[in-house]
Amino acid sequence: MTTRIYTHEDCLDHQPGSGHPESPERLKAVLRVLRTPAFDAAEWRDAPMGTREQVLLIHTEDHVADVEDAAPVRGTMPLDGGDTVMSPGSLDAVMRCVGAACAGVDAVLDNEVHNVFCATRPCGHHAEPNKAMGFCIYNQAAIAAAYAYEMHKLERVAVIDFDVHHGNGTQAAFYDRPELFYASSHQSHFYPYSGLESETGTSHNIVNVPLPRGCDSALFREQIAAKMLPAIRDFNPELIIISAGFDAHHLDPLAGLKLQDDDYDWITRELMCIADDTCEGRIVSILEGGYSLEGLASATAVHVKALMDH
């Protein structure tokens, strides 16, 4: 079995406007590096269109209706005061994100492939059940976890998030759901100003690892090894979903952590070791943030290369 990469050209049609950090150029940079000979062994698939029923596994009917009603025929429409914007292609783009994530769950649980990387955009982990925010419209990682629980009847699904921003949306969706586990490392105190260690969920199914501005490789690995990895093992997941944000990279212009490419290789391999021990190696990784095109491309490359090295 191999690594499957899901993507779709519709994801380039989410265009929040000139100068917006979450631009189509991000995905283009990722696809350029993943389409080099080093990744020839990966299997590529078009991301299917997600369904409304899948979205409703996490999001409220009111939120879904608001998104559908806001989808413009021309121009742009802000959903949250300006950061999160819809263009005419945005609804199809986010539904491809949802479709890729759920198809990835199907693929690994049906033993078609060893693991999956979803090269899709926009990102999703800030989207709460009832609202869009932080560039995120729907929360595809949370949806994928709920989909695995509901449709594949798994009892324990983990989402692991190493984006530089805390995934407040995933935490909100999982807070009262002991079958769904969320662990996040993130810069603190920083947007969206959540993710304290004291935020543990009603069943201690939330693990937050806040990191100080300027955090380097050594501190990152120390904190992850001490606080996150043992908690994931204790949860004993049947599937691991990764919210793979690369904006903690030292080149990223929007944040202040100092991670190197090697750190993304390290954490990917650590999560793969846990997956091998708990869930037959089953991982679905989903692209989140990353706003230095150079840092995003290089970090994504080492992440996917590690996934392929099983």
Q: Tell me whether the omega of the peptide bond preceding residue 192 falls within 30 degrees of 0, making it cis.
A: yes
CB contact set of 274 (below 8 Å; sequence gap of 6+): 229, 232, 233, 237, 240
Determine the Cα–Cα distance for residues 111 and 227; give it in Å rounded to an integer.
31
- C-alpha dist (Å) from residue 108 to 99, 112, 114, 196, 284: 14, 6, 6, 32, 8
Q: Alpha helix (H) ranges present in the chain? A: 24-34, 52-55, 61-70, 90-109, 140-151, 168-174, 217-223, 229-235, 261-278, 293-308
Token pair recorded at residue 46: 């078009």
CA atoms within 13 A on the CB side of 19: 2
The residue among 180, 171, 114, 175 whose CA lies nearest residue 144 is 180
Q: DSSP 3-state assignment of 215?
A: coil
| Residue 114 annotated in active site | no
* Catalytic residue selected from 126, 186, 249, 303: 126
Give the chain's end-to-end CA distance (angstroms, integer).
9
Q: Which two tokens stand for residue 179?
A: 């079958």
List strands edge to edge, sheet with 3-7.
Answer: 43-46, 3-7, 115-118, 283-287, 239-244, 157-161, 180-187, 206-211
Closest Cα to residue 166, out of 129, 199, 118, 122? 199
What residue has token string 């121009």?
Answer: 75
Active-site residues, by number, are: 126
